[in-house]
Every structure is written in structure tokens, then in C-alpha cells.
Structure 1
């Protein structure tokens, strides 16, 4: 029998390996009475919940997502495990800056990718747009009811799905019609995008120990930096081999990643 009072439960979630699953879990647990904090560890694939009362309702919510969740352990929570007051104004300002940077880089990368015939750049630009949408919906959902936040997540999922299909269609078109990606443009624009994403990472790192939504934003920025490195490597391989295949592979990989995340978000109830 679990003792009453503040508790800390650790849930193993074997299929939680990217920010999309973290966002699904946040939305599933949003509005559950008694939760004071959520901590995610994507590497260990665990979710730690500081809460009051029985962990069974939490487990039921997580099981409904189909990610293989199970309860690892429950123990009395230390005061340090409980959430600290959040400076909503500061977080909102940070999210607005992240939204502006991602929206600007979406336009820059999309235009450059089209002119340079690079599927990798176009895919990364749409990933920027997807991130900007997430940040915008996060701002809109602040203070809203749980049902409104779920609707916001579904809108984000549908939007990301459309973007992913667009990326994959463009890759297919370039496979059939041919393309001649310009390696210097791929690398040059990706270096600019990398600088923008590193700036986002520095900004969001100040909040990486805050609420779950801010920790997720930090993970998004980290993944964007890794995606930029992927496009840079693809550009270097295009220049070295003279083949367009590395560019097409990177474009398809980014498209499939966004599509998988969209499907998981749309499963959220």
C-alpha cells in the first residue's frame, strides 16, 4: 500500500525515444489532479512523476498511448522532487524568440533548398516550420483547459503529417525527374541554420530544468542541431562523390521522422 502524501513514481516507457513521444505523454497527463512535476529521460526511456495519491490512474493514462509503459517504482517524494514556481512571462518570451528564429530559418532554407535543388535543405526547412508551429501552439495553449491542449496537439500532428508527406513527395519527384543538388549552397545554408539552432539551444538551456514543455523544447533544439549536421554531411558527400543520393537519403530520413512523430501525436486522446 502506497503511503499518502507527495509521491514520486518512475515509469519505464520502452518506445519513448524522441520528443514526439514526450509531447504525447505530457498531453496525456495534462490536467490530471495531483501531478506537481514531470521529468523525462529519453536516453533511459523513463518518466518520473511527482504526484499525490495512487499511481494507478497515471499508469492507465500512459498505457493508453501504446508505448509499452509500466510502473518501475513508487516512493515518497523529497521536497526537491516537487516543481518549483515557473516564471511564465520569461518562458513565454523565450518561446517567442524561438518561434521567430525557426520561422525565419524556414523561409531561408525553403528558398535556398528550392534554388539549390536540395531535398535535404527543403526537409530541414519544413522541420523548422514544424518546430515553429509547436512553439506557437505551446504559447496559445498556455492557461487553456486540458481538452484545448489536446486539440492543439492534434492540430500540430496533422500539420506535421502534411509537411512530411510534402517532403516525401518532393524526394520522389526528384528521384524520378532528377536533380543536381549544389553542395556549396547545402553546406553554406546549413551552417547558417546551425548557428540559428545553436542560438535556440543556448536560449532554451536556461529553462531545460523547468516544466516539461520547456524541457521538450530543449530536446527539439538539440535534435535540430543534429539534423543540421546531417545536411552538412550530405552536402560534403555530394561534393565528394558527385552523387545526389546522399541528399535524397537525408531528405527522406527527415520526412519519415516527422511523419512518424505526427502519427504518434494523432493517437493522443
Structure 2
């Protein structure tokens, strides 16, 4: 439940107007870019764009969850972070499987489409990442938002590099390699979030046990 008792005595970063405002902006940007990148990825035959689009979709859901638990007790924020971390890792596993399938069944993507959409996504995510940078050292919930944003920027840079590689080689390999790297990044990022959230839940349980025995 919401931590109303402490909110009246000291500022709560997890429920601050600045935090909520950034989350709403990030949610809007990610939802829009999911639609743009998925359409471009399917039309252009790019697994890297589709992987990045799925990351946008996962991030949109994660930002919505963060808005829902903003201001709640640490245990609830940690549980939300657990869900987000698991979702990010599962999306990474799916992308890795889809990329593996495309090695034998895919086609050479359109480098021009990849490049243009990748640059637009990079600019959008760089702006969001800059806004989220000051919240990077918060609890697991805040850190999960920062990790998602950081991964987006790295992924967009990789997509642009993949577009250049596809254009230069005339093959799908740069696209597939980048999609694979993005999948691994999602899996490891999700694992980081889950580990921190589990640690916070364990710490809350320990505090509760001590309070019960006091």
C-alpha cells in the first residue's frame, strides 16, 4: 500500500512530480516508437528493428507499472521490479530464438529503412535517457527504468551500425548479429533487475522479522 505516513514528513522521490512526468514522457515515446519500429521492421525485413520494437513494447509496459507503484512501499516497488525484470529477460529469450530461426529462414533487410528508423529511435531514446539519468541510483524499480532506457540507446546505436553493415556487405548477418546482441543485453539487464529486487524483498522481510521479535 502507499507509504502515506512518510510522504508527509519528507520528499518521496518515488512519487515526486518530476519522476511521474519523466515516466509519462518515456511511456509515450516508447509506445509510439514500438508502433513505428515494428511496422518498419516487418516491412524492411529487419530482425534488429523488430527486436528493438519489442524492447519498446516491454518498456512501455514497464513504465506503466512504475507509474502504478510510484509512492508505494518499497516491497511493492520491488515486486513490480521483479515483474519488469522477468519480462525483459523473457523478451530477450524470444528475440534470441527468433534471430536463430531467421539465420536459415530470413531475408536480407532493407538497410535504408533500418538506418532512418534507427536514427529516429536513437534521438528519441537519448532524450528520454538524459531525463532519467538522475534517477539511475534509486531502488530496483527506479533502476529498472534506467536500465531499460540505457538498453534502448545502446540498441538504437547497434541498429544504426547494423544498417551500415547490411548496406556494406549486402547480407543479413550484421542485422542478425545485432539482434542477437540486443537479446543477450535484454536477458542480462532483466537478471540485474531481478537480483536487486530480490535483495530488496529479502531486506524488507528481515526488517519485518526483527520488528516482530522486538
Residue 127 (str. 1) matches residue 55 (str. 2) = yes
Query: Does structure 1 conserve the Cα–Cα contact (< 8 Å) formed by 2:47 and 2:176?
Result: yes
Give the aligned partner of residue 138 of structure 2: 212
Residues 248/178 of structure 1: CA separation in 2 closer, same or farther (3 Å cut): same
In the other structure, the counterpart of 1:174 is 102
Q: How many residues align?
A: 186
Map 1:1-269; keep pairs closer than 5 Å.
86=13, 88-204=16-132, 208=134, 212=138, 217-218=145-146, 220-267=148-195, 268=198, 269=201
List per-residue Cα deviations over 1:212-237 (Å, max 9, x = no partner).
26676456434422321111111011
Alpha-carbon distance in structure 1 between the residues aligned to 2:128 and 2:89? 24
Instruction: Specify the alignment match of 1:57 in structure 2.
Output: none
More strand by share: 1
Q: Deviation of residue 135 (structure 1)? A: 1.9
Return structure 1 stretches of 4+ with deviation > 6 angstroms: none
List per-residue Cα deviations over 1:39-77 (Å, max 9, x = no partner): xxxxxxxxxxxxxxxxxxxxxxxxxxxxxxxxxxxxxxx
The answer for the alignment partner of 2:211 in structure 1 is none
Q: Which residue of 1 aligns with 2:209?
A: none
For structure 2, which runs of at least 5 residues remain unmatched after alignment? 4-9, 202-214
Match of 1:48 in 2: none
- Which whole-Å deviations, capped at 9, do the CAs of 1:227-253 have from their partners, x for residues lacking one? 211111110111111111110000011
| Whole-Å separation in 1 of the counterparts to 2:86 and 2:151 | 20
Q: Give the drift of 1:85.
A: 6.8
Higher helix share: 2
Q: CA separation of 1:166/1:194 partners in 2, compared to 1, >3 Å: closer, same or farther?
A: same
Q: CA RMSD in A?
A: 2.6
Query: What is the TM-score with the length of structure 2 in the denominator?
Result: 0.76
Q: Give the secondary structure class of the aligned counterpart of 1:212.
A: coil
CA distance in 1, matches of 2:78, 2:173: 39
**Secondary structure, aligned partner of 2:108:** coil
- By relative contact order (CA 8 Å, sep 6+), the higher-ranking structure is 2
Flag structure 1 segments of 5+ consecutive residues without an equivalent: 1-30, 32-82
